[in-house]
Amino acid sequence: MKIVQISDTHLTARGGRTQENFDRVVDYVNNTVRPDLVVHSGDIVIIHPDDDADRAHAHTLMQKFTAPVLVVPGNHDIGEPGATPWKGIGVTDERIAAFEKVWGPDHWRHDTEGFTVLGLDSELFGSGLDRESEQWTWIENTVRDIPDTQRVIVFLHKPIWQAIPEPSEHAFDIGESRARLLELLETVSLAAVGSGHLHCYRQTRRGDAIEVWAPATAFVAGEDDTFAGPLHQLGVVEYDCTDGAVRAAYRSVPGLDDVHVTAVPEVVEAIEVLADSPVC
């Protein structure tokens, strides 16, 4: 089985640079990689989770892939947990419901021969919503049900393991929920965990599993002290799942320009709109 992970597409009904990049990604994935499954690890839409037009447009674009597509939400798709979410956009039941109306369940299980792929909603962890408890129950029941013969691959938007050593005002990972989640994942044969959110590529060994930070397709993270070391390039990740082993590799997509967010007018404009009209 071959899986392609894409992430942080930041698509908008206004089109522009992020859509141009996405079209190049679709062509590369369909005609060069030819995977059995595509997983989008969140931040599908440009900035605002309440923009129905952006969500509908992104869904139409995602139909261009020839392989089946599964998605998990990012903070720009449903908001994020915590007392001080980015730009005040907190995760809510209403935002998750709007996401699920278009994309389907925010967490899911996909079984193939020898492998079980789990998609988790990272924005529920620490949210205090009833949906968080429901997801925890689902995870507990699901890991109990997975046979020992199955290798497990997990996808979610924010990393499980701590992304930076010092506390930050921004949520770079799932925070205090990691201990409980890792305890549950210890009961299965974990092969890989793929996340997005950080707009750069890195692969790290975590015991018997690999942790992968997927690059964005929209724009790169600033190459500063926060994320010194990872690859600051746009692209996708290819997972080769063969004979119980998972190998992941960064794939550069021809035509993508590794620009910072300030060079993407549509994203800059969307952020400016938020600054003028704060939401909650």
Q: Does residue 280 have a pLDDT over 60?
A: no
Q: Does residue 135 have a pLDDT over 70?
A: yes
pLDDT above 70: percentage of residues in the chain: 96
Q: How many structural domains comprise the chain?
A: 1
Q: In sequence order, which ranges of the chain are alpha helices (DSSP H)?
A: 17-28, 52-62, 75-78, 93-103, 130-145, 178-185, 265-276
Structure tokens at 248: 């992941």
Burial of 128 (0-12, 13-18, 19+ CB in 10 A): exposed
- pLDDT confidence of residue 169: 72
Instruction: Tell me which residue range forms the domain holding 250.
Output: 2-276
Whole-prediction pTM: 0.96
Torsion (CA) 76, 121, 65, 23 in degrees, nearest 10: 20
Residue 98 to residue 104: CA distance in whole angstroms:
10
- pLDDT confidence of residue 164: 85
Is the separation of the CB atoms in 239 and 192 below 8 Å? yes
Is the separation of the CB atoms in 62 and 40 below 8 Å? yes
Specify the CATH number for the domain of residue 46: 3.60.21.10
pLDDT, mean over the chain: 95
Q: Does residue 278 have a pLDDT over 60?
A: no
Binning pLDDT at 50, 70 and 90, where does residue 224 land? Answer: low
Work out the average pLDDT over 23-39: 98
Residue 237 to residue 230: CA distance in whole angstroms:
14
